[in-house]
Amino acid sequence: MSAKSEPVAPEIEEEEVPNKAFNIFKSIIYSKGYKHFSIKLVCFGMMWLFIAGSFGLDLRTQSGFSFTGNLLPLQELGYSTIAYFQMMTYHAVVMFFGTIFTLGFSIAYYAVPTIRGTKKLGMPWMANLGHWLVVFGLMMVIGSNSQYMFTFLIPLKNPASFYVAELIQFVGDELLIIALIATAYVDKLPNEKFSIPVSFIIMDCIAMGIGIITVLGAIIWTILSPLGGLGFDVFAIPNVEVFRAAFWFESHPLVYFGSFLVLGLAVWMVTIYAKRPVYSERMVRYMIPVLFVLSMSVYIHHMAVDPIPLWIRDVFAQVATEMIAVPFVIIWTILLITLKYTKPKYDASLLFIIAAIAGNIVGGATAEPLQPIPALDFTVHNTMWIPAHIHFMMATFTLGSFFAFLYWMIPELLGRKLYSPGLGIFHFIGWSVGMGALEVAFKVQGIEGAVRREIAWPALYEPWFQMAMIGAWLAGISVIAFTTNVLMTWRMGKPNPVSVPVWLTAGMALETQAKINEGTYDPNVIYTRVPVPVGLKLAPVPAATPSSSGRGSSRMAGVSRAIAKMLKLSRMRGSELGAQAAGTDGGKS
């Protein structure tokens, strides 16, 4: 027996180990389940955040180290003035199309099938292909040695590899958008309508999909012209104004792309923390098409010096730029009214939402002078005022909104409880204070006339660059804390398998209750296949006594008790069905 059993062990080891390694590789390359695909996108989104962030920290450290252009002592690593400007390009491109897009897609690809209850990834081959095209394109961007981003005025000419890389990356993004829309419509029932989060996601994908088509046309035009450097002289060199129009038609929806993916989820999260329905569900829905139209209309304010008819600039550059603030103000007002007089638990998610609202208000308000007030625009045009606006909108507003939902989503995907809520609070403080310091420093420099995309300045600006450097490193440390928290949750978090997420049960019930309150609820329409409460049934309120009179016996107290009971039942149900979920959907994903 022993003589026969000896050769068996190595034979099994030779067959199983390669198969296991191959299966892991195959699952990384091609994700069939929506949860697995979302986890993959989270991992790559964080990878891009570290890569783009490292480029940004280099820029801020160089600026804080010297205002005369003396380089950091890194020449032995190939650091040079050229490398400095290349990192400026890579920081912007990778942060936008790597971090913002990938993390935003990870949230959307998880939220849509979860909310609708289909638990399906629409067109998985297209989603996976789009993802890997983005990865390959961004790697090419980093290796393209481009110093000038989309500037192509000779001699500031990009290498051909940069345009090819951007072509590949934008095609990948377009495929991801199409696959996400397919996910929203897969197995759609005749009487099914979309909830607020799904509606925002679909609107956002349509806007961004249209925008990408225009910039793809401009890039293809460039590649097929002498400017492309590939010998394809099919077209003449692109007209500067036409190229800029195509670029900005895509790039202004780009500013809102990530935030719109999570804006509907933010509405739900506020109602969950407030433990009551949103103040006006109908008005929030009205703002979805308004935001679509206005976000596609303001791009011309980036082309103030181009030969565009004055009336077009007046309509798009000034009126639309002012008007796009209106739907944001309405939504923020509705959310803050919903939170009024409530006593929510201020964890990292809610704090990030509130900071994101503040970031959007400040960032949007300080962007207005760039067009409607020409006198101030003359002062801050092409100064550090511009990067300040971008960082308010992308770092505080968009990434802050992402972090808010990721603190719910990642533990659910891992099937564990968050390891350290305290680290989450540290992450919020470090990110908000650090990015706030950087943004304020940039704004002051802009008012003082510091030209952006430079490496040397008058000594007047150096204290503010040092402030921005400190803020950038504080924000970077906070991201390390977030990543540590995620890894510790994965390895050491308490098991907490969930079949139906609490945010889905409570969010859908509160949205339904808002419809009931406003008289727009239709019992024949479904928004999810997941069994959730139809609105809220108020808990019975006891007769008023000296100890329970006043606010405690009010209607709102009954609503809060009803929601608290519903959340408790949802957690119990999730625990009971957790093992089943882990063996079925969780295993497939």
Q: What was the pLDDT predicted at 564?
A: 55
Mean pLDDT of 213-230: 86
The token pair at 455 is 């490496």
DSSP H helices, 418-554, are 421-447, 462-492, 502-518
Name which residue leads in pLDDT, 479 or 217: 479
**Residue 207 — pLDDT band, cuts 50, 70, 90?**
very high
Give CA angle at 168 (162, 171), nearest 5°: 135
User: Who wins on pLDDT, 74 or 547?
Assistant: 74
Token reading at 582: 């882990």
- Residue 375's pLDDT is 57
> What pLDDT was estimated at residue 369?
55
Domain map (residue ranges) of the chain? 502-588
441 contact partners, CB below 8 Å, separation of at least 6:
464, 465, 467, 468, 471
* 400 vs 453, more confident: 400
- In the structure, what pLDDT confidence band is assigned to residue 228 with cuts at 50, 70 and 90? confident
Q: Is 494 exposed, middle or buried (0-12, 13-18, 19+ CB in 10 A)?
A: exposed
Q: What is the DSSP string of 219-261?
A: HHHHHTSGGGSSS--SSPPPPHHHHHHHHHHHHHHHHHHHHHH
Side-chain half-sphere CA neighbours of 168 within 13 A: 18
| DSSP string over 258-290 | HHHHHHHHHHHHHHHHHTS--S-HHHHHHHHHH
pLDDT tens digits, one per residue of 115-168: 999 999 989 999 999 999 999 999 999 988 887 765 545 445 678 888 899 999
Cite the beta strand spans of 98-184 per DSSP E: none
Tens digit of pLDDT for each residue in 178-203? Answer: 999 999 999 999 999 999 999 999 99
| pLDDT value for 586 | 40
Helix axes 462-492, 400-414, angle to 10 degrees: 10
State the pLDDT at residue 368.
59
Q: 33: which DSSP letter? A: S
Q: pLDDT digit string (tens) for 79-119? A: 888 888 889 889 999 999 999 999 999 999 999 999 999 99
- Least confident residue range of 55-64, 92-101, 404-413, 532-541: 532-541
Most confident of 14-23, 53-62, 298-307: 53-62
**Residue 451 to residue 453: CA distance in whole angstroms:** 7
Decide: 445 and 71 in contact? Cβ < 8 Å.
no
Question: Of 67-71, 73-77, 79-83, 108-112, which gets the smallest average pLDDT?
Answer: 73-77
Between these two residues, 22 and 273, which has the higher pLDDT value?
273
Compute the distance between CA of residue 264 and CA of residue 22 in angstroms, rounded to an integer.
39
Q: What is the pLDDT of residues 304-347, one digit of tens each?
A: 666 777 777 766 667 777 888 899 999 999 999 999 888 898 99
Positive/negative CA dihedral, 263, 296, 298, 280? negative
Question: What's the whole-number average pLDDT of the chain?
Answer: 83
Structure tokens at 58: 């280099």
Judged by DSSP in three states, 495 sits in strand
**CA–CA distance, 348 with 408 (Å, rounded to integer):** 10
Q: Is the pLDDT of residue 253 over 80?
A: yes
Positive or negative: CA dihedral 203, 206, 207, 208: positive
Contact 250, 215 (CB under 8 A): yes
DSSP 307: S
pLDDT score for 589: 36
Burial of 290 (0-12, 13-18, 19+ CB in 10 A): middle
Residue 208, helix vs strand vs coil: helix
Give residue 371's pLDDT.
54
Mean pLDDT of 205-225: 90
Question: Residue 50 is encoded by which pair of tokens?
Answer: 């570290």
Least confident residue range of 165-169, 227-231, 283-287, 445-449: 227-231
Q: Is the pLDDT of residue 405 over 60?
A: yes
Q: Is residue 75 scored above 50 in pLDDT?
A: yes
Tokens at residue 159, please?
Answer: 């290498």
Residue position matching structure tokens 């377009």: 174
Per-residue model confidence (pLDDT) at position 2: 43
Confidence tier at 585 by pLDDT (50, 70, 90)? very low
Highest mean pLDDT of the ranges 4-13, 79-88, 315-324, 531-540: 79-88
pLDDT given at position 151: 55
Residue 254 has pLDDT above 50, yes or no: yes
Question: What end-to-end distance do the CA atoms of the chain give, in Å?
Answer: 42
* Whole-angstrom distance, CA of residue 383 vs CA of residue 404: 31
pLDDT value at 395 more than 50 = yes
Residue 497 has pLDDT above 60, yes or no: yes
Q: Mean pLDDT throughout 263-269?
A: 95
Cβ neighbours for 347, distance < 8 A, ≥ 6 positions apart: 407, 421, 424, 425
- Read off the pLDDT of each residue in 532-546 and give the average, rounded to a whole number: 55
Is the CB of residue 113 less than 8 Å from the CB of residue 201? no
pLDDT above 90: percentage of residues in the chain: 54
Tell whether the model's pLDDT for residue 480 goes beyond 50.
yes
Distance of CA 233 to the CA centre of its chain: 38
Mean pLDDT to the nearest integer, 223-251: 79
Percent share of the chain, pLDDT over 70: 83
**Cα Rg, the chain, nearest whole Å:** 26
Better-predicted residue by pLDDT, 254 or 94: 94
| Residue 12 pLDDT | 43
- Non-local CB neighbours of 148 within 8 Å, separated by 6+ positions: 85, 89, 156, 157, 158
Residue 420 has pLDDT above 90, yes or no: yes
